[in-house]
Structures are given as structure tokens and as C-alpha cells.
Copies of this chain bind each other. A is one copy, B any other.
Amino acid sequence: MGMWRTAITQHLGHETYIRGYRLLDLVGNLSFAQAVYLILKGELPTERESRMMEAMLVSVIDHGIAPPSAIAARAVASGGNSLNVGVAAGILAFGSAHGGALEDAMKFMQEGVASGKGVEDIVSEYLSARKPIPGYGHRYYKDFDPRTKRLMDIAKALEFYGKHCEFAQAVEEEIAKQKGKKLVLNVDGAIAAVASEMGFDWRLGKGFFIIGRVPGLVAHVYEELTTEKPFSKRLDEEKDVEYTGLPPRELPPDIKKI
């Protein structure tokens, strides 16, 4: 298959180098989030970037047992599997409807800023085509999303509030103006703005979500394995299942051989 090419990690002698730095020098000197930044971006973060990264990853660390990812992770674990298998099942659930908004919002903001177009035109294009703008709107929060406020406050305190954050908030205001109704910049949108500010490619968007949420999935699978009985995650046929198919019927007589 020819050579497998990579620019991430190199082994020289018995030493491991991550993006050119000796791994053992990183151990003890970088925080975990700083090492995450290095391996994804290829360069060491500054102090501001480090603190922004810590905040971003912490903000998605868990969202309880209710989302599809926790359901899948715990159902798989309850089938009698190891920790790694349950965690992987949880990560599989992070499709376009579960963490995908972060990626879409990064794409929207990076392309929006790069295009040089006015926010007014961009918003009216989406609204007239009735396309949802990724990163905006929330089921409960109608005035502002407190998680967005928190991340934006931190971004400002770290002097990290640049053109992508400004664009993100300008879009929020423009939606309210054109639509006559507020669609708040939600937490996916806020992380998207900040990650874009840090110069990350939108194709990595789901990566932040995965890295940040994996500790939550580990905690859920560990909890399932240590506190629940095997096979605990199954539905109750009487209470949880509605059968919507055909009623019982007979097999045609010519098919019955035995």
C-alpha cells in the first residue's frame, strides 16, 4: 500500500516527537489542553489561547444521560462490553444532528468573514431561502444563551474577541431586525466563533466536541459498568414500544415445508 504518511508524530531512536517537540518535554510542562492545541494546530498556544482552549473544552464536558450519545454508550456497555467499546459507540452518535451544528456554524462564520459580504445580505439570503442559520436559535433561551454569554465574556477578558465573534453577534442582531424575532447565538455558535478566532479549520469543528465530551462518555460507561446490572438498557415491550406494523398473518400454505 506504499508508505503511510503523517506529519503529526515521529519516532527517532527511542524518543517520540509530537509536532517536532520531544514528548517527554511536554509531559509536566504543558497542560493537557495545551497539548491538544499543539497536536491539532501544529504550534504551541500562547497563554491567551491556552486559557480559551481550556474553557472551550470544559464547556462541552457532559450534558447528562439524555442525549443519543449517552444512550448508545450505555446501551452498548449494558450488552456486556469493555469501557472502550461503550465510549466508541457514544462517539458514533455524534453525527450531523449531534455536534454537527458546531462544524456547520464554523463553516458559516469562516466563509462569511472571508467573503467580505455584508451581514445584511448574508442573513437575507438565508432567510429568503428559509435555510436555518447554523449556530442560532434555542428551544428554551429566547433572550440570550447564558453559555454563550459566559464564553463571550471570557473571550473578551482574554482579548480574544475579534472579527469572527463580531460577525457572530452581528448576525444575531441582523436576524432579529429582519425577522422581527430574536434567534439567540447558541453555545454551538459561540464555540464556533471562538474556535474560528483561534484560527482552526471548520473541518475540525466536531473534533473539539469529541475531545471535550469523551470524559463525560467515559464517566457514563464506567457508571453503567459499575452500578447497573448487565442488560439493564432494554425497553419494556408493554410501556415503551408502539408497534405500527401489520397484524399477525398466516404463511401461504405452499411455503410450509416443515
Q: How far is the CB of A183 from chain B (nearest CB, A)?
A: 17
Residue numbers in B under 8 Å from A164 (CB-CB): none
Q: Is the CB of A242 within 8 A of B32?
A: no
Q: How far is the CB of A152 from chain B (nearest CB, A)?
A: 11
Q: Interface residues of A toward B: which range?
A: 35 or more
Q: Is the CB of B65 within 8 A of A210?
A: no
Q: Which of A11-56 contact B (CB under 8 A)?
A: 11-12, 14-33, 35-36, 39-40, 42, 44, 51, 53-55
Copies of this chain per assembly: 4
**In the complex, A30 Cα to B53 Cα: how many Å?**
11
Residue numbers in B under 8 Å from A85 (CB-CB): 81, 85, 92, 95
Q: State whether the Cβ of A171 lies closer than 8 Å to any Cβ in chain B.
A: no
Q: State whether the Cβ of A129 lies closer than 8 Å to any Cβ in chain B.
A: no
**Does more than half of chain A's interface fall in helix, strand or loop, or is it mixed?**
mixed
Q: State whether the Cβ of A198 lies closer than 8 Å to any Cβ in chain B.
A: no
Q: Is the CB of B203 within 8 A of A9?
A: no
Q: Is the CB of B150 within 8 A of A218?
A: no
Q: Give the B-binding residues of A (Cβ under 8 A).
A: 1-12, 14-33, 35-36, 39-40, 42, 44, 51, 53-55, 57-59, 61-69, 71-72, 74-85, 87-89, 91-100, 140-141, 146-147, 150-151, 153-154, 157, 201, 203-204, 206-207, 210-212, 214-216, 218-220, 222-223, 225-228, 230-231, 233-237, 239-249, 251-252, 255-258
Q: Is the CB of A243 within 8 A of B29?
A: no
Across the interface, A25 reaches (CB within 8 A) one of B25, B42, B233, B251, namely B251
Across the interface, A92 reaches (CB within 8 A) one of B35, B54, B81, namely B81
Known contacts being A39-B216, A69-B79, A237-B64, is A222 close to B242, with CB within 8 Å?
A: no
Closest residue to A61 on the B side, CB-wise? B35
Known contacts being A31-B54, A78-B68, is A6 close to B244, with CB within 8 Å?
A: yes
